[in-house]
Structure 1
Amino acid sequence: MPRELQILGACPLDCPDTCSWVVTVRDGEAVKMRGNPDQPYTRGALCVKVNRYLEQTRSPERVLHPLRRVGPKGSGEFERISWDEALQEISIRLRAIVDEHGGEAIWPYVGTGSLGYLQGCEGIAGRRFWNVLGASRHRLNICAAAGNEGLRQVNGTPGGMDPEDFAHSKLILLWGTNTLTSGHHLWKFVQEARAAGAHVVAIDPVRTRTAEQADEHLPIRPGTDTALALGLLHVVLAEGAQDDDYLARHTEGWESFREEILRHPPARVAEITGLPEEDVRALGLRLARTRPTGIRATMGIQRHAGGGATLRALAAIPAVTGDWRHPGGGLAYSTSGHIHLDIDTRDDLLARPVRTLTMTRLASELDESVKCLWVYAANPMASSPDQNRIREKLLREDLFTVVMEQFPTDTADYADIVLPATMQTEHMDLHAGYGHMYLLWNEPATAPAGECLSTTETFRRLARHMGLTEPSLYDSDLELAEQLLSSGHPSLEGITLDRLRKEGWVRLNVPRPFLPFAEGFPTPSGRLRFPQGPAYVPPHTATASRERYPLALVTPAPHTFLNTTFGNNPELLRRSGGPRVTVNPQDAAARGLAAGQRVRVFNEHGAFEAEVEISERVRPGVAASTKGHWRKLSPGGAAVNAVVGERDADLGRGAVYHDNLVEIAPL
């Protein structure tokens, strides 16, 4: 009889749900994966993407051995080499770069391909190694930076509601978030609230899957959410529905911010947002009269010029209404602010301060001063802004590029050395969801495929090959996990590595329901700090000339890919239907476009090809095209980020993927 095991693990991908999964292993082979039915947030369900994860691990396209480039950069032509050959060549090149140019000539470029605290971007993942070499720091700002900084300025932390508490809400604002595509497990709690009488409103420029299922959809102009928040609060004040006691006890700067609210009556807000004035007023009245109100906003809402200001304004709403007092009231953006692991990257190993290079500025900052680009858990050729300029920089012959990868991605094609990386079922890792209140452990279910190595093991071997003597570079994965859990924070009380490995997941040691700001905020004064001065920062699309490029482009997540992960899966590619751009019938008629026609979407940065979809799911003046398509698998060899500008949001140097102007023309 075959021996069958059930191995507990966790999804590593860039999604707030961070699911707990169970892998069935028979005679050393993973034969089945399912959502863990015992985990309260996962409840047995995985998404349409991760349901194909085991299929992806067995893909014939997997990179299984170290590779050395033999063709021109970008050709994807490689030869197989041994790990010893790869490590030897890398060691020689890194030593030469450090000796001649200094460690800052190395850019370790890590992305959100894994959110693991061991193997991915959230924790240690090679940082000690780079500190020993004195490499440049990497600012990982591609995802949530503007919103995180906005919330820190107001609340003192990006942390907010426990998403499970939406089950207690009476009014739910799904603001700039497509829950049924990007974090569908929250929907169970929304449905529980609905069954008890809650009203659900989707605020989104696109009529998404989620907007179609909501009780109400407000098709706002992209990037004008701050103005809407101020307009809703204007109605709350007009109704005398502000919580004066909460404002007096737990906030500061209220009088100044109140004056800013009064400068945004519904009529003015309607002009800015493109929403009917009566809709702004009606939702304001509902907000004024409904306790508790829960607001769910995720990362897409802050990817524009005023992204930080938007989260500051959304954070102000439950402070004015006093919703933080009530289970089911408040704002949920990211629970990461409630995670207090001890992430000791050993910055003391740096001999001197070093520069910081910014992830979303790869096109401009990958200049002659960078002699080595080391990419892991990232596919910037497809995911980062300004694709055409990035390609020009990656073609530099004097740039030594190493890519740690599972598949031959757009970025891997430009590497000098490709190192084979394990997938989640093949290594151990520690995870914390940014959309729930649990820590999760991922136990490897199978041996690594081919000669693949985990991120931690790759850096251990490279350190040994280079003769580095710092002891912490050789800590095992279990030792690193023990260190992460040793912060002593009360939220980790009772959570041990042994317990995590046995149970697979443990809820943080916080109350249920969780009321993080009922009695104050983690700011120096203990109070929420209302933003001062003008609160609304308009998007680039509202201030730039639209003469040449009149359409505001948003690039939301597709249902079939997660960023560019799964972008090469044959079945998910088939389901995606290929690159599409959705335009309103008015805009299609003005350009003579027909449904299904091949079009060119372009601006001053570049262009991509897509099939046009004509639908009232987008408002006039707005175009929508999903992210995630690989450049080399797209028609014309370009994807949506070819037209995304390399600009910064107002705070945190956040990305502006939803704040670009384009034109569309038939091919």
Structure 2
Amino acid sequence: MSERTVRSACTRHCGDGCALLVDVGPEGVRSVRGNPDHPFTRGRICAKTARFAQRLASPRRVTTPLVRHGADFRPASWDEALELIARRMDALRPTPERMLHIHYHASFGLLHQAGKFLFNTLGASGFSGAICLGAGAEAIRRDFGAIRQGPLEESAQAARIVNWGRNARAQSAHLAAMLGQARENGARVLAIHPGDASYDRDHEIILRPGTDRLLAAAALKLLAARGQLSPLALDRCANAGAFLELLDRWPLDDLLEACDVPLEQARTLADWYAPANAPCPPGLLDATATHIGRGLQRYAHGGASVRFVDALAMLSGNVGRPGGGVWFLSPDPGLAAWDWTGVPPGPSRRFPIAGLARAVEAADPPVDFVWVEGMNLVTQCPESLALERMLRERFTVVVEPFLTDTARAATVVLPPALMLECEDVLRPGEHAGLLHAAKAVDPPGECLPNFEIAARLGARLADPVILPDAETVMEAALRDGKAGWTLETLRREGWLAAPVDPAPWSGGIFAHADGLYHLPDALPSYSPVDPDFPLRLLSPVRREHLLSQIPEDEQQAPPTLYLSPRAAAFDALDLSGPVLLETALGSMTVRVESLPGLHPETAVYPRGDWLSHGGCVNRLIRGRTADLGGQAAYYEERARLVNAPVA
């Protein structure tokens, strides 16, 4: 094979949706680069994808179907593996709810959803809720009536940018670059978080974890007292009077004590949203842009926190204003018909993802068959040990390229082709358009694309479920989209962009039936610290690895937990001996290090490491849901540190 460069796109679990240049040699993919010609990517990609060639070529990849044999696995042919699976599914066809399909977004590709087509047609069970964006997305719908946001670049044109809990360095290489460039252009950035030195900022406010809604309410009270709430914005709200009465009932001192923020910093926050006669740097827009992170919606009242941050942006007059507004989640612009998998009858019943193992164990009729694809379920969801047991006790099929914790619990492991080993169409989250994810190399061994796995299995059933071919799916999705593009055009051009409203809601009409913005009608209080478990356990993403895709030889045992140097836990610990991280659900051994800047009630465990390597923070986190969207409330767990007993 001669040296060549393939133009493709990144379909991994990330909203940036990067256009790629893939350098291929005789041995396979040599390097992955950002395409400098793409108007959003501009040659930049994250560290995770820059090293993707190593993932493709890893000697640990599963490259042939595996069937459980005692405590281990043995290789099998596709015929044997699919026949084994098909027989089990055929036996359950009269009661399809006894099959459970778990599919998540390992890939943002169109074809990657083929399993949903198969299991929706069968009427298998599915799941409800979210592990990623559920509470925040539902909060925005309740406030604005629909999810809309301007181009990411528009926020970087604002004179003031409030980064409310989004660690851009770890989550979005392009947002991080835009924030850096915005600061160079004269914009100021305020970061609000429970403590993390990696935030790029001019100013920061470190608050008690889980109290974001109370800090936003404090800033709103200050603006109201100054007479700086926007009269026009108040007129566009359905329930402004009741909301102002709600704020009046909360003493400012109580709000600030709950979020552990000094009055002067709350005043600073109010100033960022309604500056008094502050000059606007030349070339920038006189507005405040708000970026909301994923973390603040992962508490019991996470949806309320997003709603109060929204309210602060709205009532300060920064919604519908060029450069202003809220950035959390991009809507689907409808450029392709992404719902091709939504065939009847659809899921026969749904189990909450946050407490999945307990719900499945209590199911009547029982679940006998589980299919998992697109996520490392055991590692990424709460109550990991219970999930592992639940999978082991059933006939479980896992479509997975590595022997993750989920794959190790399977009856059958099926090896998928990965990004760059199969063609797909990508819908990015942070910019409008579509990209062609071209195939650059053949998959190793017997790996097959997820689409082909679903198609082969469907055709093997006694009463077959026939999928349309991949070409037809891509053609139809593009043809039926709003833009009416063709697959031929997308393949030739590499990407197709679409315009986006730079200032959503600029007309003052919102997507609710009454055309008004809807403010929250309650402000949940803050639960006092539990003296038995005084630390709030937070598990942010890592910068170097995507979710749980950490190479096994890079996993550290025991894992590292970070505390503030001011944490009271240090006073009672002997760090020369083993330390246990304990919650109400269990305990695990950790290595403890200090991280300056953290709030003293915060314990930070970067997530993604595996049970099988002595890690997995989710083994200690109970499955609870936030107030909105069925969001898993990962950050509601309290913890403590103790020295391990001496044997």
**Structure 2 length-normalised TM:** 0.92
Counterpart selection for 1:162 from 151, 154, 171: 151
The Cα shift of 1:516 comes to 4.7
Counterpart selection for 1:145 from 129, 134, 138: 134
CA separation of 1:346/1:553 partners in 2, compared to 1, >3 Å: closer, same or farther?
closer
Q: For 1:307-386, what aligned pairs fall within 5 Å after superposition?
A: 307-339=302-334, 341-345=336-340, 347-350=342-345, 354-367=348-361, 369-386=366-383
Cα distance in 2, alignment partners of residues 660 and 337 from structure 1? 33
- Tell me, yes or no, if structure 1 residue 390 matches structure 2 residue 387: yes
Cα distance in 2, alignment partners of residues 418 and 294 from structure 1? 46
- Which structure 2 segments of 5+ residues have no match? 279-285
**What is the SS of the residue equivalent to 1:125?**
helix
- Tell me, yes or no, if structure 1 residue 589 matches structure 2 residue 570: yes
Q: Give the equivalent residue in structure 1 for 2:415.
A: 420
> Match for 1:386: what amino acid?
E
Moved more, 144-153 or 15-24: 15-24
> Match for 2:430: what amino acid?
G
Q: Give the equivalent residue in structure 2 for 1:203.
A: 192
Identical aligned pairs, as a percentage?
A: 30
Q: Give the equivalent residue in structure 2 for 1:112.
A: 105
Q: Give the equivalent residue in structure 2 for 1:501.
A: 491
Cα distance in 1, alignment partners of residues 631 and 525 from structure 2? 14
**What is the SS of the residue equivalent to 1:59?**
coil
**What is the SS of the residue equivalent to 2:63?**
coil
> Match for 2:532: what amino acid?
R
CA separation of 1:241/1:193 partners in 2, compared to 1, >3 Å: closer, same or farther?
farther
Cα distance in 2, alignment partners of residues 438 and 217 from structure 1? 34
Q: Give the equivalent residue in structure 1 for 2:457.
A: 462
Counterpart selection for 1:89 from 84, 88, 91: 84
Cα distance in 2, alignment partners of residues 578 and 157 from structure 1? 44
Deviations 1:133-191 (A, max 9, x none): 22012225111111111111111223323211122111111111111111121122223
> Match for 1:222: what amino acid?
P
CA separation of 1:337/1:255 partners in 2, compared to 1, >3 Å: closer, same or farther?
farther
**What is the SS of the residue equivalent to 2:12?**
coil
Cα distance in 1, alignment partners of residues 117 and 508 from structure 2? 39
Deviations 1:563-620 (A, max 9, x none): 102x1254xx27x7862111123324322243x8642101121222221002333222
The Cα shift of 1:494 comes to 6.0
Q: For 1:26-175, what aligned pairs fall within 5 Å after superposition?
A: 26-27=25-26, 29-72=28-71, 77-99=72-94, 102-119=95-112, 124-139=113-128, 141-175=130-164
CA separation of 1:374/1:224 partners in 2, compared to 1, >3 Å: closer, same or farther?
same
Cα distance in 2, alignment partners of residues 612 and 624 from structure 1? 10
Cα distance in 2, alignment partners of residues 29 and 526 from structure 1? 55
Q: Give the equivalent residue in structure 2 for 1:655.
A: 632
Q: Give the equivalent residue in structure 1 for 2:262.
A: 276
CA separation of 1:343/1:48 partners in 2, compared to 1, >3 Å: closer, same or farther?
closer
> Match for 2:581: what amino acid?
V
- Tell me, yes or no, if structure 1 residue 306 matches structure 2 residue 295: no
Deviations 1:393-432 (A, max 9, x none): 2331xx1000001111111111111101111011122222
Q: Give the equivalent residue in structure 1 for 2:282.
A: none
Cα distance in 1, alignment partners of residues 552 and 30 from structure 2? 18
CA separation of 1:15/1:265 partners in 2, compared to 1, >3 Å: closer, same or farther?
farther
The Cα shift of 1:98 comes to 2.6
Q: Give the equivalent residue in structure 1 for 2:623.
A: 646
Q: Give the equivalent residue in structure 1 for 2:474.
A: 481
- Contact kept in structure 1, 2:12 and 2:419, CA below 8 Å: no
- Contact kept in structure 2, 1:428 and 1:477, CA below 8 Å: no
Q: For 1:180-195, what aligned pairs fall within 5 Å after superposition?
A: 180-195=169-184
- Tell me, yes or no, if structure 1 residue 178 matches structure 2 residue 167: yes
- Tell me, yes or no, if structure 1 residue 607 matches structure 2 residue 574: no
The Cα shift of 1:389 comes to 1.8
Cα distance in 2, alignment partners of residues 79 and 118 from structure 1? 29
The Cα shift of 1:7 comes to 1.7
- Contact kept in structure 1, 2:126 and 2:347, CA below 8 Å: no
- Tell me, yes or no, if structure 1 residue 536 matches structure 2 residue 520: no
Q: Give the equivalent residue in structure 2 for 1:222.
A: 209
> Match for 1:657: what amino acid?
Y
Counterpart selection for 1:402 from 365, 382, 397: 397
Cα distance in 2, alignment partners of residues 20 and 182 from structure 1? 17
Cα distance in 2, alignment partners of residues 321 and 160 from structure 1? 17
CA separation of 1:631/1:184 partners in 2, compared to 1, >3 Å: closer, same or farther?
same
- Contact kept in structure 1, 2:353 and 2:632, CA below 8 Å: no
- Which structure 1 segments of 5+ residues have no match? none
